[in-house]
Amino acid sequence: MVWDVSPELVHLFGGVSIRYYSLLFAAGLFLGYSWVKRQYLRESLSIEDIDRLAKYIFVGTFVGARLGHCLFYEPDYFLSRPLEIILPFRWGSGGFEFVGFAGLASHGGAIAVLIAIVLFSWKTKVKLLPILDKVAVAIPLTGAFIRMGNFMNSEILGRSTDSIFGVVFSRVDMVPRHPAQLYEAIAYLLLFVLLTQVYHRTRTTKGDGFVFGLFLTLLFLMRILIEFFKIDQVGFEANMIGNMGQWLSVPFVLVGIVLMFGSRARRLISSEGD
């Protein structure tokens, strides 16, 4: 398969354009928000809370993902040009060039979203773990759309392959590569389906935090495995055992395991108390 689709859906003026990536990113956030809102309605919870929570999560997603890319992958460049972290322009040979916010890291987004939810819980006095359980189900759905956006951008490329799954991203080179973006998108969609079933079937039988722990464990294990199909994103990863994405995933997996066992332990203690 030869992939030669322009990442720009509509070109406007002055170098500004509407990209498939932006639309897919927005669609993923909207669908994730819609799923969480539906659970709030089913469980007769405050709709005002979900709208306020959405604002925290949206801001956390963008700020965290941007800072994560700048600090994890290109710290030398962005620390010497801090304004380019927050402005959609980059200084080139011909002056300022509109590039959008090129560079978003999912691990940075994950950390910032967690911080945002903790702040929301603290300010509203709403229990933290039940919120995390709901949001955890929706995140893989959003992530799947973001990875489809990466495919449209011909970025986050896979390693070369002679298999029938090879895709030639002709805007980059003529090498058949694993469509790692689609592998990840499919994995996230399957995880969304699984977590939806687990949430509805175990919400009242497992302790709070179990679904969130399962989400962290499975999603970041998937991320570690899929990274083997990707090329390195930055040069310094060539000298690493594993890449940055894999090492950043390990703490999330460990936290997920602790949360799952902790939720079961709390449930057992609560049952014995009853």
* 9-39 per-position pLDDT tens digit: 887 766 667 889 889 988 998 999 999 999 9
Please give the Cα distance from 134 to 196 (Å, whole number).
9
pLDDT at 39: 92
Averaged pLDDT of the chain:
83
| Rounded Cα distance, 271 and 203, in Å | 15
CB 259 within 8 Å of CB 211? no
Question: Please, what's the b/e burial string for 141-164 (b: 16 or more CB within 10 A of its CB; e: otherwise)?
Answer: bbbbbbbbbbbbbbbbbbeeeeee
User: What does the alpha-carbon distance between residue 56 and residue 154 come to, in Å, rounded to a whole number?
Assistant: 30
Domain ranges of the chain: 2-273
Tens-of-pLDDT digits for all 274 residues of the chain? 899 999 888 877 666 678 898 899 889 989 999 999 999 999 888 878 888 888 888 888 877 777 766 776 667 766 666 666 666 666 665 555 555 555 666 667 778 888 889 999 999 888 999 999 999 999 999 999 999 999 999 988 999 999 999 999 999 999 999 999 999 999 999 999 999 999 998 876 778 899 999 999 999 999 999 999 998 766 666 667 777 778 889 999 999 999 988 876 666 555 445 4
Of 202, 213, 201, the C-alpha closest to 263 is 213
pLDDT digits (tens, 9 = 90+) for 156-192: 899 999 999 999 999 999 999 999 999 999 999 999 9
pLDDT recorded at residue 136: 95
